[in-house]
Structure 1
């Protein structure tokens, strides 16, 4: 059975970085494949017994992207394992990246109305158009928000995704700081800022939710246990329905003020609980960014 990872998403969101990460993992990688050639490429590589294949597609193939969902179903019906990883970032982040590299957005020339437009406005319009164009692909797989993560974080995230069992729904728990924004890739977000904060305990302030002293402190707080129980109950109730809905990944964001203590502790506790029954991944956005 061929293991296929389809990398797609917004221009400037890090698809080349993701593809290089998969190449490091032993995938045969193809960039900017026209969607109409997807099935044919897989058939050729299967004849040569290529076990792992990573393919990048994006707005450069705008006219044929609508073919991708049907082609994925054809490949799966033929026994191939197909996973979709969709990369995105905030519009402000993408504008900054294009400005820094001085590259043109692939859709910047598509609309004649942009001919006399102010350059940044034209770029924002192109990004908005690309979001609409790729909306159906976004719904097919795992979404990664690359707005404020480093290259190493993105590489690590992509590599961890391909190690999970692709035939099961995978739970991804991520901690974050509300002061740096809610992750775009979160399916569910739980706000735990009302819980007791170890930041105000002098001996705990410089530690994180990964440290035993912080964990012990939070375990003694009844509110923390109650929040953990409520989140666990919600997910236990709805995960079977998400499986029935053919979801491959569900990302649960746990946010506190600084993303250092409460959210980190709860991500660790929730991941440990659900790992006994589900493929589970953990991410700590603010800690990983250090």
Structure 2
């Protein structure tokens, strides 16, 4: 049985992710107490379910520290276990709770909403680096749905290398393992003919390919990633996110993400995401 554990901060999109998984044929259970994880997963497997998803969040409190051990036990039983962790910036979570007028699950008379979010973030610290992370701060629900579908289509036996473009003016992605800043390079935005285009368009690609500094930085980043990827593979990492940032996330960062993906695509399992193009 393939089991996906969905975790993350309240308001980050766990319900959307579980709905996508349910629509994709997964048997879904939300907010399962962790002491019941092994028993529940074993029961689902013995009942003939091939795909299942279980939501685990900060309400489990101190039990969350036991999640890595619980995952190891399930894998020893022969289950294919994967973890999807959703997060978002605090200010975005505050905005979402204010718009929906819902109470935070950890709220009480002593804590503010911001304090509740920080407490939950601390409780989930042991889980956040254990699987595939998605920062939903700048994502629409439809984009998150598409990214979850990408996640379940991956071959878990191989490392997934993810190249993500973004704009610094919208903030650095929380799910990035490496962040490269390409804002020092020539900006197509200042050419009126190129401004409405993106780094996927031929005219922008030609503009950037002509500049020696662009090609030098591209080569430097490519060599850095190639040199250190084997180290992450030896560390049994399943996912590595390389984020490329320019000012607006439309031209240079998109070009870098697409070009690097083309270079590494023949050897590694890849995902390419353009946060500001969604």
TM-score range, shorter chain: over 0.9
Report the 3-state secondary structure (helix = DSSP H, G, I; strand = E; otherwise coil) of the residue aligned with 2:86. strand
Report the 3-state secondary structure (helix = DSSP H, G, I; strand = E; otherwise coil) of the residue aligned with 2:228. helix
User: 1:202: how far off?
Assistant: 2.3
Paired residues for 1:127-138 under 5 Å? 127-138=117-128
Which deviates more from structure 2 when the two are superposed, residues 201-210 or residues 130-139?
201-210
User: 1:102: how far off?
Assistant: 1.7
Paired residue for 1:216, among 206, 211, 214?
206
TM-score, scaled relative to structure 1: 0.93
Paired residue for 1:166, among 135, 149, 156?
156
Paired residue for 2:197, among 187, 191, 207?
207
Gaps of 5+ in 2: none
Q: How far apart, CA to CA, are the structure 2 residues paired with 1:192 and 1:139?
A: 26
Report the 3-state secondary structure (helix = DSSP H, G, I; strand = E; otherwise coil) of the residue aligned with 1:143. strand
User: 1:48: how far off?
Assistant: 2.2
Residue in 2 that maps onto 1:156: 146
TM-score, scaled relative to structure 2: 0.97
User: 1:39: how far off?
Assistant: 1.2
Report the 3-state secondary structure (helix = DSSP H, G, I; strand = E; otherwise coil) of the residue aligned with 1:251. strand
Instruction: Indicate if the aligned counterparts of 2:64 and 2:126 stay in contact, CA closer than 8 A.
Output: no
1:226 matched to 2:216? The reply is yes
Residue in 2 that maps onto 1:104: 103
Residue in 1 that maps onto 2:168: 178
How many residue pairs get aligned? The number is 278
Residue in 2 that maps onto 1:277: 267
Report the 3-state secondary structure (helix = DSSP H, G, I; strand = E; otherwise coil) of the residue aligned with 1:95. helix
Residue in 1 that maps onto 2:229: 239
Report the 3-state secondary structure (helix = DSSP H, G, I; strand = E; otherwise coil) of the residue aligned with 1:189. strand
Q: What per-residue deviation string (whole Å, max 9, x for no partner) do you get for residues 145-172 of structure 1?
A: 1111100011111110111111221111
User: 1:125: how far off?
Assistant: 1.0
Instruction: Indicate if the aligned counterparts of 2:62 and 2:123 stay in contact, CA closer than 8 A.
Output: no
Q: How far apart, CA to CA, are the structure 2 residues paired with 1:243 and 1:76?
A: 19
Residue in 1 that maps onto 2:88: 89
Query: Post-superposition, which runs of at least 4 consecutive aligned residues in structure 1 deviate over 2 A?
Result: none
Instruction: Indicate if the aligned counterparts of 2:3 and 2:81 stay in contact, CA closer than 8 A.
Output: yes
Residue in 1 that maps onto 2:73: 74
Residue in 1 that maps onto 2:17: 18
Q: How far apart, CA to CA, are the structure 2 residues paired with 1:88 and 1:132?
A: 12
Q: How far apart, CA to CA, are the structure 1 residues paired with 2:195 and 2:179?
A: 24
Gaps of 5+ in 1: none
User: 1:246: how far off?
Assistant: 2.0
Which deviates more from structure 2 when the two are superposed, residues 173-182 or residues 212-221?
212-221
